Structure formats: structure tokens, C-alpha cells
Amino acid sequence: MITADYVRSGQERAYADSYSVWQIKADANETDEEIIEYCFTHLYRSKVPSYQEWVKEFNTKGSEHYNDFGYYFAGYYRLSRSYRGPEWRRFSVCRPYTD
């Protein structure tokens, strides 16, 4: 079973990226892929790439999204371990600042 606690959303300061952040609690048998699927189904309904994929696709010449600013401004997600314990994850979505 997966549950989520909403942490925050918005900019930390003027001219900064916007973040939506949740603390996710999952059973030990839940994989990261299942947690990510849950997050994009129930928490953040727009599918965005992982941070690693986002950086690689935008910066690599010849990739599908090289210098594609629509792709860049769509943002990315991160899933990381949480300080709360081994069953907890931190899911965040970043939307880069636009003026």
C-alpha cells in the first residue's frame, strides 16, 4: 500500500523554480517503478521525465529533445530516500522558472 503526505508547492523565492513535494510511504515490497506510477496517477497527473533523463535529453546533441525548450520547461521529477525511514520516499516535481 502506498500513501502520500503533501509537503509543499511553489517557489522558494522570487525568480526560482517551482516545486511540488510529497513524502511517500510504501510497503517494502513496492518497487520504485510502482511508486512512480502511483505518483503520476494520483498526485501529479502530468508525466514528466526523471531528472537524469531530462538533463541528458536536453543537453545531448542528436537526442530527440536537444535544445527543445518546450521539453525543458515541462520539468522533471525526482524520487529519493527520505530522512523519515526506509519505507519513506520523497517525490518532487520541478517546473523551471519562466519569465
Cα–Cα distance measured from residue 32 to residue 87, given in angstroms and rounded to the nearest whole number: 11
Instruction: Please give the model's pTM, rounded to 2 decimal places.
Output: 0.91
Residue 40: per-residue pLDDT: 97
Q: What is the pLDDT of residues 61-81, one digit of tens each?
A: 999 999 999 999 999 999 999
Residue 49: per-residue pLDDT: 97
**Among 18, 19, 21, 20, CA closest to 99:** 18
Cα–Cα distance measured from residue 8 to residue 6, given in angstroms and rounded to the nearest whole number: 6
Q: What is the pLDDT of residues 12-64, one digit of tens each?
A: 999 999 999 999 999 989 999 999 999 999 999 999 999 999 999 999 999 99
Domain limits of the chain? 2-95
Cα–Cα distance measured from residue 47 to residue 8, given in angstroms and rounded to the nearest whole number: 19
Report residue 49 CA to chain centroid gap. Answer: 8
